[in-house]
Chains A and B, each alone.
Chain A
Amino acid sequence: MNMKLVLATTFAALMAAPAVAQDGDKLKEVLDRGYLILGSGSTNPPWHFMDGDNQLTGFDIDMGRLVAKALFGDPDKIEYVQQSGDARIPNLATGKVDLTCQFMTVTAERAQQVEFTIPYYREGVGLLLMEGGDYADYEALKAGGSDVTVAVLQNVYAEEMVHTALPEATVDQYDSVDLMYQALNSGRAEAAATDQSALRWFMVQNPGRYLDAGYGWNPQTYACAVQPGDQRWLNFVNTVLHEGMTGVEFPFYSASFEKWFGTELESPQIGFPVEYK
């Protein structure tokens, strides 16, 4: 066999090999490059969106900044790849991004295609009420039975979703989020059922106007994700997120949490590690 041909075939085979990282390569690659390539969106406050100065901001972005800070001591050393929701998995698979933080719900199906980090938020559905309205909290809404109208974004199983929490409530489905909030504002609905994060963000933006009914259900976990196959890189990101939520970077994480969700987190208890409680 011709030596040249062998070389050519080997080369072609190498080129065609999927872009699966070798253990340890990614961390070195990112450190050598000098900045992190973060995949996220730009249209979903408070997760990832453009602020007044046209800069990406939000809770997802802050998670990426936490990782950049851990890598380079500078949270701004990030190159953003703005991607739509359906590009999250492909861009990881092809190695276009080092890390994706884009309110990604952890599912077993997705976990077969990407590697999820540890969670950084638990999303769920909550009920938004008007401050000083007829119903003070979840118990009151439940007692109100079918007199209570709940506005919700039209979606698959929207009615069943509301009825899980309030079995007798009347459900009005609107086809946009602003109509849903308008229904609440004009007294057309006693409560609006929406994602906890959206509800919190809405309350941060309109202080003193709304109340959280204090009940959450339909849990789903948000985590960042990396390309599968590089345990070293995954461990590194996990460690950064973990220390953000429990250790030295807690002030960074909790400041961000308070900024976007309006809740001050309790500092992790000193002594026995909180995560094993």
Chain B
Amino acid sequence: MDYDFNFAVVWRNWDLLAQGLGLGLSLAVLSIAIGTGIGLIAAFGMLSKLRPVRWIALAYVSAIRNTPILVLILFTYFALPQMGVRLEKIPSFIFTLSIYAGAYLAEVFRGGLVALPLGLREAGLAIGLTEFRTKIYIIIPVMMRNVLPSLSNNFISLFKDTSLAAVIAVPELTYYARKINVESFRVIETWMVASLIYVAACYIIASLLRRLEARLAIPR
């Protein structure tokens, strides 16, 4: 390949890239937090004894999990306002990613719940906790420890999905990379740097989660 690399034009805009990365991380953290809540509710819903509850939870997970995230983003941003629901650019994206994260995490949590020994719940009820408190104090903490490895996987995936916010002009990392690319014509350098930033960020997230895993591991 006969090409003179010139990273200077990309580094000159490092502040934009840093800003973009910051926004991307904030979008991911918020969406994952909200999505975890939705996912827990949906997981318990899918395992509920009540048929309508089960049905609603299942419908939500199937509908969202089987729609590409890009379509969901475009739908929320462009179609919902015409149906009377108007969220601003960034809330609109957080809403979409949360709903999307919820559907995926619901399946992870459901797997974790099914794997728990029945004795845990019985023990909780036996010492006089209510059904709700048993879930909060016993079921969820134990289940969380078990699913942490697959949760990490989903978190990283969701962080990378924030790159799709560029489509609706949310100024995160990919958006700025594209902007620098268009203005400098340094295609290879720009996308190389953007990729490296994503790799580094994901690596850091993964190692933090792994340390958390190690701390919370159930001694065997």
Contact = CB atoms under 8 A, between A and B. Distances in A.
Contacts of A174: 167, 169
Given A175-B167, A187-B81, A157 B179 contact: no
A173 B181 CA distance: 14
A154 B81 contact: no
Interface stretch (A22-30, A43-51, A177-185, A236-244): A177-185
Contact of B78 (A172, A173, A175, A188): A188
Interface size, A (range): 10 to 19
Nearest to A186: B78
A156 interface: yes
B144 interface: no
Given A154-B178, A154-B182, A155-B182, A175 B166 contact: yes
Contact of A154 (B74, B77, B86, B179): B179
Contacts of B81: 186-188
Contacts, number: 39
Contacts of B166: 175
- Interface size on B, as a range, is 10 to 19
A151 B168 CA distance: 10
Contact of A186 (B79, B182, B183): B79
A38 B166 CA distance: 40
Contacts of B179: 154, 173
Nearest to A153: B182
A151 B78 CA distance: 13
Contacts of B66: none
17 contacts: A154-B178, A154-B179, A154-B182, A156-B182, A173-B175, A174-B167, A174-B169, A175-B166, A175-B167, A182-B78, A183-B78, A186-B82, A187-B81, A187-B86, A188-B78, A188-B81, A188-B168
Given A154-B178, A186-B77, A188-B168, 14 more contacts: A156-B182, A157-B183, A172-B89, A173-B169, A174-B169, A182-B74, A182-B78, A183-B78, A185-B82, A186-B81, A187-B81, A187-B82, A188-B77, A188-B78
